[in-house]
Amino acid sequence: MTAPVTTSWTTVTGSAGSFDAYLALPPAGRGPGLLLLQEIFGVNAHIRAVAAQYALDGFVVLAPDVFWQQEKRLDIGYTPQDIQRGRALAMAADKAALQRDLADSVKALRARPEVQGRGVGAFGYCMGGRLAYVAAATAGVDAAVAYYGGGIQDTLALAPQIRCPMQFHYGALDANIPLSAVDQVRAAMQGKPAEFFVYDAADHGFNCWARGSYHAPSAALAHGRTLQFFAERLF
């Protein structure tokens, strides 16, 4: 049997050079676009599987290689050494360049024949959650979802620029993002079309089945909420 989802690496022609992105096409071959933004571990096995998961749900998913100017196609796991390596890359990344690449990726996704005429959203995890928030403010997406977006509370100056609907997912046990930080983000998004969900039994990284912090009930509930959110706004 032929696999229902078609995946491949493709090239995004950006304003500062071309970079790779992982593409997953849905069984129908076309649909709304989703920009999938990686964690510090690169477009690794988990992110590629998430791309296929959302492609099965009917979306055209593009996961850009965020660290392309530092280390192309980074693909690492979750050991302490991997975490240290990923954090170093994230700390050294040029914020203006990341913002530019987000806009270039959204433009490329909108231009794909499989997407044309449909909405485009952005979603991501940890660092990618923060980048989804940045995309909502600067890249012209139609909707965005941030899973445990690390550092969003430190970039609240962008909040007034957000016009599209946003959804936020947090774990109540997440020591990296205390509930006080969640409250800061919630306050900054007051009056905007934003939804917040905090999962009482979830820790940081609860969506990733390859990590010890994976929490299936929270991940399943968040996935369902994300699907409904995007389905109502992008199809």
Residues classed as catalytic? 126, 174, 204
Side-chain half-sphere of 66: how many Cα atoms within 13 Å?
Answer: 33
* Residue with token string 């979603």: 123
Residue by residue, DSSP assigns 55-78 as: HHTT-EEEEE-TTTTTSTT-B--S
Nearest to 54 by CA among 120, 99, 104, 148: 120
Residues in the chain: 235
The DSSP secondary structure of 164-187, one letter per residue, reads S-EEEEEETT-SSS-HHHHHHHHH
